[in-house]
């Protein structure tokens, strides 16, 4: 388990939320009191205010504590689709009747919640997907899958990585060499059919490259990539900064003036710091389930590089393999997308190398 000096999304979000809730609740209260013509005397108001404030804070804290005791706590939006209900139906949000003969309301495709279309806009993001609605494993939204299975990460990722670490770390060309595509497709079907009971043991799939192939396919098939479309520009920015600065450093070294070399060493150090800072900020943009899966994968890839003398795979090679697997440009033209590929490789390489400090 890598150290987590930097607290990532879940805890931070909870704190900000808590502060926000207290502040807004108190803010509204104070304003209302100030506007009121019959303002109670300060001597009377002050103790009430202090008491109310302490009660409210402890209430909020208790609620947050209760919330955080349940693991994992990943927020998920509902996946509402217009629905025609047969027979009378009542909205599960406002409890009122859903009128009409067709398209009376919307239904969440992941948890089955039925609400009015107008109510769907105010329903909190507390979707708890149900296995009876979530049928597939591959091509299923990552957060939906982990919530449906009440897991930390998708079982495909956990099971494949466990299998690879047990019998594949020293296999030459791990992740670079691909297994038979029919067999990889077979693994995918097994996961879709049997979930965590899928058999991917050495008796069924002797070739470890089939398992690495299935894991790569899982990431490629995600409807929202592991590095989400929203976070993609920030990640690429962090990676491209480091690439663009390289020529300047190379040039100053070539000039071979003592001072400039010293400057370049110093600037390289600060560049590295800034880059990690930028990457750390970018990681905060990922949904918690995506971030946790990325952390787990990078820790695994680091182990792969530690066996480089047997498997001949270093962070650079793995960057080439995983760059386009873990992220896709959000609708860019072919030329820009092609140009992005080198930054994608660089990004994965950076994540592997700095896995221990970033997560
Ligand atoms: Zn839902
Ligand atoms: Zn309603």
Ligand 1 center from residue 135 Cα (angstroms): 14
Residue 135: band (very low, low, confident or very high) from pLDDT cuts 50, 70, 90:
confident
Closest CA to 71 of 13, 10, 20: 10
Task: Kindly identify the ligand whose nearest atom is closest to the C-alpha of 141.
Answer: 1
Task: Kindly identify the ligand whose nearest atom is closest to the C-alpha of 105.
Answer: 2
- Whether 100 and 163 map to the same domain: the answer is no
Of 182-186, 188-192, 218-222, 246-250, the poorest mean pLDDT is in: 246-250
Q: What is the pLDDT of residue 83?
A: 96
Residue 43: band (very low, low, confident or very high) from pLDDT cuts 50, 70, 90:
low
Domain boundary among 41, 69, 97: 69
pLDDT in tens, 218-262: 999 999 999 999 999 999 998 887 555 444 444 444 444 455 555
- Whether 192 and 113 map to the same domain: the answer is no
- What distance in Å separates the CA atoms of residue 63 and residue 49, rounded to the nearest whole number? 21
Ligand 1 center from residue 130 Cα (angstroms): 9
Ligand 1 center from residue 249 Cα (angstroms): 51
Has residue 287 been placed in a domain?
yes
Task: Kindly identify the ligand whose nearest atom is closest to the C-alpha of 113.
Answer: 1
- Whether 297 and 227 map to the same domain: the answer is yes
Q: To the nearest whole number, what is the mean pLDDT of the chain?
A: 80
Ligand 2 center from residue 194 Cα (angstroms): 37
Ligand 2 center from residue 97 Cα (angstroms): 8
- Is pLDDT above 60 for 148? yes
- Whether 34 and 117 map to the same domain: the answer is no
Q: What share of the chain is helix, strand, coil (3-state, %, to 5)?
A: 60, 5, 35
pLDDT in tens, 100-126: 999 999 999 999 999 999 999 999 998
pLDDT in tens, 279-326: 999 999 999 999 999 999 999 999 999 999 999 999 999 999 999 999
Ligand 2 center from residue 289 Cα (angstroms): 30
Q: What is the pLDDT of residue 72?
A: 56
Long-range contacts of 105-112 (CB under 8 A, 24+ apart): 106/80, 106/81, 106/82, 107/80, 107/81, 107/83, 108/78, 108/79, 108/80, 108/81, 108/133, 109/79, 109/80, 109/81, 109/133, 110/76, 110/78, 110/79, 110/134, 110/141, 110/144, 110/148, 111/78
Of 26-40, 63-77, 135-149, the poorest mean pLDDT is in: 26-40
- Is pLDDT above 80 for 62? no
Q: What is the pLDDT of residue 329?
A: 86
Ligand 1 center from residue 92 Cα (angstroms): 12
- Name the helix (H) or strand (E) containing 11: helix 9-35
- Whether 64 and 190 map to the same domain: the answer is no
Task: Kindly identify the ligand whose nearest atom is closest to the C-alpha of 93.
Answer: 2
Phi, psi torsion values for 114, nearest 5 degrees: -110, 120
Ligand 1 center from residue 131 Cα (angstroms): 12
Has residue 2 been placed in a domain?
no
Q: What is the pLDDT of residue 322?
A: 97
Task: Kindly identify the ligand whose nearest atom is closest to the C-alpha of 89.
Answer: 2
Has residue 132 been placed in a domain?
no
Average pLDDT over residues 14-22: 46
**pTM summary value:** 0.71
Ligand 2 center from residue 91 Cα (angstroms): 5
- Whether 167 and 303 map to the same domain: the answer is yes
Q: What CATH number corresponds to the domain at position 118? A: 3.30.60.20
Ligand 1 center from residue 143 Cα (angstroms): 12
Average pLDDT over residues 202-211: 97
- What distance in Å separates the CA atoms of residue 89 and residue 105, rounded to the nearest whole number? 9
Ligand 2 center from residue 157 Cα (angstroms): 38
User: Which two three-digit tokens encode residue 129?
Assistant: 């997907």
Ligand 2 center from residue 115 Cα (angstroms): 5
Has residue 355 been placed in a domain?
yes
* Number of separate domains in the chain: 3
More confident position, 225 or 43: 225
Ligand 1 center from residue 133 Cα (angstroms): 10
* Residue-number span of the structural domain to which 189 is assigned: 138-359
Domain boundary among 19, 34, 69: 69
User: Which two three-digit tokens encode residue 49?
Assistant: 């205010």
Q: What is the pLDDT of residue 33?
A: 39
Average pLDDT over residues 87-92: 93
| Structure-derived torsion over alpha carbons of residues 5, 9, 13, 16, reported in degrees to the nearest 10 | 40
Q: What is the pLDDT of residue 246?
A: 43
- Whether 245 and 170 map to the same domain: the answer is yes
Residue 168: band (very low, low, confident or very high) from pLDDT cuts 50, 70, 90:
very high
Task: Kindly identify the ligand whose nearest atom is closest to the C-alpha of 119.
Answer: 2
Domain boundary among 69, 99, 115: 69
- Whether 37 and 102 map to the same domain: the answer is no
Task: Kindly identify the ligand whose nearest atom is closest to the C-alpha of 97.
Answer: 2
- Whether 166 and 314 map to the same domain: the answer is yes
Task: Kindly identify the ligand whose nearest atom is closest to the C-alpha of 126.
Answer: 1
Closest CA to 188 of 164, 165, 166, 220: 220
Ligand 2 center from residue 64 Cα (angstroms): 27
Ligand 1 center from residue 204 Cα (angstroms): 36
Has residue 262 been placed in a domain?
yes
Q: What is the pLDDT of residue 270?
A: 63
Ligand 2 center from residue 75 Cα (angstroms): 22
Ligand 2 center from residue 122 Cα (angstroms): 10
């Amino acid at each position: 388990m890598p150290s987590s000096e930097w607290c990532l999304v879940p805890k931070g979000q909870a704190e900000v939320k808590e502060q926000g809730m207290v502040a807004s609740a108190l803010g509204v209260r104070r304003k209302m009191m100030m506007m009121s013509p019959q303002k109670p005397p300060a001597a009377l108001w002050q103790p009430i205010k202090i008491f109310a404030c302490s009660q409210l804070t402890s209430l909020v804290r208790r609620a947050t504590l209760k919330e955080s005791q349940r693991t994992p706590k990943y927020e998920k939006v509902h996946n509402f689709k217009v629905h025609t209900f047969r027979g009378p139906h009542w909205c599960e949000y406002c409890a009122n009747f859903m009128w009409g003969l067709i398209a009376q309301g919307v239904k969440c495709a992941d948890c089955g919640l039925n609400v009015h279309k107008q109510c769907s806009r105010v329903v909190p993001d507390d979707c708890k997907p149900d296995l009876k609605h979530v049928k597939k494993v591959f091509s299923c939204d990552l957060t939906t899958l982990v919530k449906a299975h009440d897991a930390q990460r998708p079982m495909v990722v956990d099971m494949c990585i466990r299998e690879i670490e047990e019998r594949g770390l020293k296999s030459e060309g791990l992740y670079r060499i691909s297994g038979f595509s029919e067999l990889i497709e077979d693994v995918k079907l097994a996961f879709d059919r049997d979930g965590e009971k899928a058999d991917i043991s050495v008796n069924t799939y002797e070739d470890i490259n089939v398992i690495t192939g299935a894991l790569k396919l899982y990431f490629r098939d995600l409807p929202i990539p592991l590095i989400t479309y929203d976070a993609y520009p920030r990640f690429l920015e962090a990676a491209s900064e480091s690439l663009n600065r390289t020529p300047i450093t190379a040039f100053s070294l070539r000039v071979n003036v003592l001072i400039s070399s010293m400057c370049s060493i110093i600037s390289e150090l600060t560049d590295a710091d800034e880059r990690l800072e930028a990457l750390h900020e970018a990681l905060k943009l990922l949904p918690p389930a995506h971030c946790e899966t990325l952390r787990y994968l990078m820790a695994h890839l680091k182990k792969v590089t530690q066996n480089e003398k047997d498997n001949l795979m270093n962070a650079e090679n793995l960057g080439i393999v995983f760059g386009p697997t873990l992220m896709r440009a959000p609708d860019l033209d072919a030329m820009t997308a092609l140009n992005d590929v080198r930054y994608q490789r660089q990004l994965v390489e950076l994540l592997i190398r700095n896995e221990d400090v970033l997560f």
